[in-house]
Amino acid sequence: MDFTSLNLCQPLLNALDEIGYISPTPIQAQAIPDLIEGRDMLGCAQTGTGKTAAFALPILDAMAKDPWTDPRRIRALMMCPTRELAAQIHDNIEQYARHLDIRSMAMFGGVSQRPQEKILRRGVDILVATPGRLLDLISQGYVDLSHVQFLVLDEADRMLDMGFIRDIRKILAQIPKKRQSLLFSATIPRSIVELSDDMLYNPVNVSITPESTTVEAIEQSLMFVMRSDKRGLLTYIIEEESPDKVLVFSRTKHGCNRIVRQLGQDGIDALAIHGNKSQGAREKALRRFRNGTLQVLVATDVASRGIDVSDISHVINLDLPNEPEVYVHRIGRTGRAGQGGITIAFCDENEGEYLGIEKTIRQDIPVDEGHPFHSEKARSRKGNKAPKKQQNRGRGRRQPRNNKSNGGSRSKGKSNHQSNGSRSKGKSNHQSNGGRKGRRSGRGRSRKQRKHQTRY
């Protein structure tokens, strides 16, 4: 099958030919015919399967066949969770629409809104946005969604995980009910089913299962290592294998920064990309990673949405994800377009329970014992739950300077509480340290209130 058999308009076919698209991916072949007919759709697909073209091409085709005259209105709204993904979708749309009179823009937070206001005033046909910034500009009166004909929610599961559900529902209330709606998600939990019931009408279901996205060309391996040795193992792999482009996944933003700092101490150039980085810093890191001047990019799962780099040679899971589907998403960053790739997962003594990923991909990940940091202790805990962390549940009682605990024994004839420092008989219930002026009486308050006041 090729794209000409999908009944797309000629300007789109010309653009696809210039870009180098030859044949549609499975999700494109399944989704495009139904979307051209105007059906709503619930799609289950990972990043890297070609789903952007799957929803963008039919929408562009419909808009090209039914052009609107000026003034331009927002006819298509595409929402996604992160800035990088919004920028990537917008870039793809611009490539597909290079021979069409259709304007698009990306809207996201972390940058000044003034340039976005100027573009909106000139008029756009397609808006790709993150929910937070979109809702903000709607409230300021810069965005009018009353003419939207096409609605797309991409990476919907991640948007719900990030707490965008209220923003999404507020935005949906601004859009005409008569529209074509598409919802794409890497997983279909109950929350996604409930959202799809609200926004989709008699949808077509398209599913590219996680098993099919675990590309056979990817060489997977599992390395058992103590947590304290992960840094040394990461440096060892990079120095031994000298990979061109390495994408390292950490579970937290702080972890990303720490890895970059430690690699720098070992003489390895690396940059981090996560939600706390400015948009300029994120774009600079991605640009250097794409053009090959940066060897190592360290990312969180959320920030990695939108990293569209076709020649990543290695993906290293420094921290195992606690959701099996996330592992599939991570390793799919390499081995794109049928190319080979190498993925390595570190498993420390507290991550054994996360190896349920092997059930999801329906295969055992080969264990590599041939590295100097191999740990049988970590291996022996495969399947064990991680120990619960001790959490500080609020501030404990202060210890007075005389080493007497609060609420200790009281001498007869003295009042209920005495602050640090000596006190003579006959004084009021509370006196500040050092005998400041302006004594406070406890009269007029209950005993419970007086105790609460003096205790803190």
Q: CA nearest 303: which of 110, 45, 81, 92?
A: 81
For residue 292, give the 3-state DSSP assignment.
coil
State residue 160's pLDDT score. 86
DSSP string over 88-109: HHHHHHHHHTTTSS--EEEE-S
Determine the Cα–Cα distance for residues 314 and 393; give it in Å rounded to an integer: 41
| HSE-CB for 55 with a 13 A CA cutoff | 31
Q: What is the mean pLDDT of residues 402-430?
A: 44
pLDDT digits (tens, 9 = 90+) for 150-209: 999 998 988 887 789 999 999 999 999 999 999 998 778 888 889 999 999 999 999 875
Statement to judge: residues 122 and 137 lie in one domain: yes
- Asked if residue 308 lies in contact with residue 290, where contact means CB atoms within 8 angstroms, the answer is no
CB burial readout 368-391, b (16+ within 10 A) else e: eeebebbbeebbebbeeeeeeeee
Statement to judge: residues 277 and 313 lie in one domain: yes
The CATH code of the domain that includes 261 is 3.40.50.300
Determine the Cα–Cα distance for residues 435 and 418; give it in Å rounded to an integer: 12
- Residue 251: other Cβ atoms inside 10 A: 17
Angle at which helices 190-199 and 165-172 pack, to 10 degrees?
A: 10
Q: What is the mean pLDDT of residues 259-265?
A: 95
Q: CA nearest 316: which of 235, 415, 375?
A: 235
State residue 99's pLDDT score. 96
Question: Last residue of a domain, which of 380, 401, 430?
Answer: 380
How much of the chain, in percent, has pLDDT values that exceed 90? 53
> Domain count of the chain?
2
Task: Indicate whether 412 belongs to any domain.
Answer: no
Statement to judge: residues 109 and 242 lie in one domain: no
Question: Last residue of a domain, which of 363, 380, 397?
Answer: 380
State residue 414's pLDDT score. 44
- Residue 315: other Cβ atoms inside 10 A: 25
Task: Indicate whether 422 belongs to any domain.
Answer: no
State residue 334's pLDDT score. 81
State residue 371's pLDDT score. 95
Strand partners, 150: 76, 180
Statement to judge: residues 165 and 193 lie in one domain: yes
Supply the range of the domain harboring residue 243: 212-380
| HSE-CB for 215 with a 13 A CA cutoff | 22
* Most confident range, picked from 17-21, 74-78, 318-322: 74-78
Q: How many residues make up the chain in this entry? A: 456
Instruction: Kindly tell me if the per-residue pLDDT of 128 is higher than 90.
Output: yes
Q: What is the mean pLDDT of residues 393-412?
A: 47
- Asked if residue 336 lies in contact with residue 214, where contact means CB atoms within 8 angstroms, the answer is no
Lowest mean pLDDT among 209-223, 347-361, 362-376: 209-223
- Helix ranges (H only) for 123-278 are 131-139, 156-161, 165-172, 190-199, 210-213, 230-241, 253-265
Statement to judge: residues 161 and 142 lie in one domain: yes
- Residue 430: other Cβ atoms inside 10 A: 18
Task: Indicate whether 96 belongs to any domain.
Answer: yes
State residue 422's pLDDT score. 42
Q: Which helix (H) or strand (E) holds 343?
A: strand 341-347
State residue 217's pLDDT score. 66
Q: CA nearest 238: which of 215, 270, 271, 261?
A: 270
Statement to judge: residues 216 and 203 lie in one domain: no
Determine the Cα–Cα distance for residues 42 and 29; give it in Å rounded to an integer: 15
Question: Last residue of a domain, which of 380, 399, 417?
Answer: 380
Statement to judge: residues 197 and 217 lie in one domain: no
State residue 336's pLDDT score. 62
From residue 219, how far is each of 152, 256, 343, 418 by CA, in Å? 34, 24, 6, 69
DSSP 194: H
* Structure token digits, residue 306: 């939108």
Statement to judge: residues 204 and 218 lie in one domain: no
Task: Indicate whether 387 belongs to any domain.
Answer: no
Statement to judge: residues 171 and 255 lie in one domain: no
Cis peptide bond N-terminal to 71, omega within 30: yes
Determine the Cα–Cα distance for residues 372 and 234; give it in Å rounded to an integer: 11
State residue 191's pLDDT score. 87
Statement to judge: residues 184 and 321 lie in one domain: no
Lowest mean pLDDT among 208-212, 272-276, 432-436: 432-436
pLDDT digits (tens, 9 = 90+) for 34-92: 999 999 999 987 766 788 999 999 999 999 999 987 789 999 999 999 888 899 899 99
Determine the Cα–Cα distance for residues 335 and 215; give it in Å rounded to an integer: 7
Determine the Cα–Cα distance for residues 194 and 37; give it in Å rounded to an integer: 25
Task: Indicate whether 443 belongs to any domain.
Answer: no
Statement to judge: residues 169 and 261 lie in one domain: no
Statement to judge: residues 203 and 225 lie in one domain: no
- Asked if residue 277 lies in contact with residue 298, where contact means CB atoms within 8 angstroms, the answer is no
Would you place residue 393 in the very low, low, confident or very high pLDDT band (cuts 50, 70, 90)? very low
Determine the Cα–Cα distance for residues 443 and 189; give it in Å rounded to an integer: 58
- Asked if residue 148 lies in contact with residue 179, where contact means CB atoms within 8 angstroms, the answer is yes
Query: At 315, which amino acid appears?
Result: V
Task: Indicate whether 446 belongs to any domain.
Answer: no
Task: Indicate whether 176 belongs to any domain.
Answer: yes
Lowest mean pLDDT among 4-18, 70-84, 382-396: 382-396
Task: Indicate whether 313 belongs to any domain.
Answer: yes
